[in-house]
Each structure stands twice: as structure tokens, then as C-alpha cells.
Amino acid sequence: MTNRIENTVKLPVDIVLAPEWWYYNEKITFDEDFFYHPLRRVEVEQQMEKALYERWGKYGLGEHRNEQRPEIGAVHLAAGFLLSEMLGCQVNYTEAHPPQVVAANCADLSIDGQKIFSSPAFKKMLKLWEGLKSKHGYLSGDINWGGILNLAMDLRGDSIFTDMMLEPEKVKDYFTQIAAVISKFTALMEEETKTTSISVNRLLRQFQKPVFLHSECSHTMISADDYEYFLLPFDIAWSKQHRPFGIHYCGPDPHRMAGQFAKIPQLDFLDVGWGGDVAVLRKYLPNTFLNIRLSPVDMITQNNEEIKRSIVERVKQSNSKTLTGVCCINIDEKITDEKITTLFETVEELRKETAL
């Protein structure tokens, strides 16, 4: 397998701050207007860029601080909710937290594909796009689109796992319908902005080619066999259609799926959730870019030396400066700036080492 990842620097590193951090430090609120009011979309994204530059500009953050960019989605957050809302779920917006999706607990395994793309949520999004494009002449960024099982859980709740046992063929068809919705939605974004997944992980902005990143947050709840039977075929198909192709696995056990991931002919990128065994994944995926995710919870309680040691250990397990990145996602207000600086400084030091 030839990796299609082309990063601008060795060992790219990035962070995503949680809404709680932004609310506490920058007084930014996350009501519905934050996501859908065209003027506020642009103003707040620029405010975020400036805040990042003031704290960590020397490490490459805040590069667009002097621009008013028509970002169609919250590219500084990890918040996937729009497709769930389009599919019929209720979404609750609050001041200091990300939008909360309420499981719809749908009665059956069926989806009305036409209804989704005429839903109030979709129309609301189109209105935003039209407002931004009429003023700025173009659109940028993207919207977190989640993943097949993530969306199935939003629609069916925990019942989807019973469905997988009792009605496997119907579930496969259901997943196919969800995948079709995702494909249509991401194609619309890609046509306008040329990206689909920066809002899933901001590290992707540092690559020369846009990565198509499938979120598999919920896969920690299924077996490797179930992944192979129900969901691996979609990853294989998408890896052939979208290059570079990647998987976002934020759970603590991505190594459980290593053998299955190795069956994807073109897995260019893998988000390795904290707790993931990097050495095992590298053994199975010698040519995949492994993005090492640090625990935002652990970073609060660790001292600077412990943070540094954790990063160095995991990067060395990956055993490749060109096929490794580091990030920490959903860092809340309890973290100190100094600890985030330690993250960046440690990666800077690793870049200078002649060998891992």
C-alpha cells in the first residue's frame, strides 16, 4: 500500500479545545446562532483563530487570524450533530457545551432518503451556505458528519445492537442507507470547499491533500468480528473512492481492530485513541499514518514531565516521523496553558532527534 498522506512537517501536532474551554476563556457561547448565523459564524471563527495565535502562535496555530473565512461548520470544535438532526433526531443547544443529540429511538430500520435532504435542518444549513457565499464569494471548512454506527445509534439507540444480533441482514441494509446519506452529504461539502473532515480532526488541515475521515467512536462497543461483518465493507469501499482515506477511532482499544484494519487496502490515516497500543497497530499497519491522541482527562492531572514522557513513549512506538502525528482533542477549561505548551514543545524536540 502506498500512503497518500503528504504532511507539510514531520510529526504534525494539533489540539481541539472543548466548548467549555472557549466559554470559560473567551466567553464564546454555543447556542444555535453560533452554528447557523452567517455573520456570527465568521466573527467567532476569527476570534478563535486570534485566541489560539495569542497563546500558541509560535507552533503554527491561528494562521488565519487576520482573515474572515466563511467556515460552513465549527472547524475548531469536535461536534458531530447535523446529520443526526437531518435524520430526525432532536438536538439541544446550550451556552457552554457542544450540541447534544437526543436518540430518536426509531421504531424500525428504515430511512427516507428524500425526506432527509428536504428536512428543516438541511434547509437551515443551505441558508447558511447561501448567506456566506453571497457575501464572501466562496465557502471554506466542513461539517462533522460522524459515522455509520454513530448515526445508527442516534437513530435506534441501544436497540441497534439487538438488531445486529436478531436481524443482521436488515441491519446491513440499514447501514447501506446511512452510508448513502453520508456519501451524498460529504459530496455536497467537497464540491463547495474541497474538504470533508477538518471538523473531525484539525490535524488534517496540515496535509496537502484532504483526508476523508470516517468516525468510528462507537466501535469500541462492538466486537472485531461484528466490525468485519457489518462495517468493514464500507471502509474498504470508501478507501477505494476517497484517497487519502482514514478512520477516526477515539476509543481506548483501536488495537482490537488491527487485524481488520489491515484488510483495508488503502488505510492512509488512523486516529489512535488514547490507550490504543501503538506498537501493535504499527505492526499491522506499517504504511498507515498513525495519529496518536492524548487523553485530555489525563493531561489535567499529569505534570509536565509525565505529559512529555507519554508523548515520547508513544511516538517512538509508532517508529516513523513521517507516518506519525500527535493531537489532543476536547481539552476543557481545567487544563493550563502551560501543559498544552508542553505538548507542543515535546513534539518540537522529537522532530529534532536524528532517530526515534
Task: Enumerate helices (H) and strands (E) in the chain, giving the number of each.
Answer: 16, 8
Q: List CB contacts of 56: < 8 A, sequence separation 6 or more.
A: 15, 62, 340, 341, 344
Is residue 335 situated within a structural domain?
yes
Q: Which three cell numbers stand for residue 118?
A: 428536504
- The vertex-227 CA angle with 225 and 230, nearest 5°, equals 105
Residue range 277-308, pLDDT digits in tens: 999 999 999 999 999 999 999 999 999 999 99
Is residue 134 situated within a structural domain?
yes
Residue range 135-183, pLDDT digits in tens: 999 999 999 999 999 999 999 999 999 999 999 999 999 999 999 999 9
- Mean pLDDT, the chain, integer: 95
Q: Which CATH number belongs to the domain containing residue 343 in this structure?
A: 3.20.20.210
Is residue 1 situated within a structural domain?
no
Is residue 337 situated within a structural domain?
yes
- The residue segments making up the domain with residue 205 are 13-352
Number of domains in the chain: 1
**Continuous segment of H or E residues that includes residue 92:** strand 90-92
Distance between CA atoms of 165 and 50, rounded to whole angstroms?
50
Is residue 297 situated within a structural domain?
yes
What does pTM read for this prediction? 0.96
**What angle, 0 to 180 degrees and rounded to 10, lies between the N-to-C axes of helices 159-166 and 148-156?**
110
| Chain Cα centroid distance, residue 63 | 20
Euclidean distance between the first and final Cα of the chain, in Å? 23
DSSP, residue by residue, 7-28: BSSSS-EEEEE-HHHHHHHH--
Query: Does residue 70 sit in helix, strand or coil?
Result: coil
Distance between CA atoms of 120 and 98, rounded to whole angstroms?
20
**What per-residue confidence (pLDDT) applies to 350?**
96
Residue range 42-74, pLDDT digits in tens: 999 999 999 999 999 999 999 999 999 999 999
Distance between CA atoms of 332 and 22, rounded to whole angstroms?
8
Q: Which amino acid is at 217?
A: C
pLDDT-derived band of residue 355, with 50, 70 and 90 as boundaries? low
Is residue 6 situated within a structural domain?
no
Query: Does residue 74 sit in helix, strand or coil?
Result: coil
Is residue 8 situated within a structural domain?
no
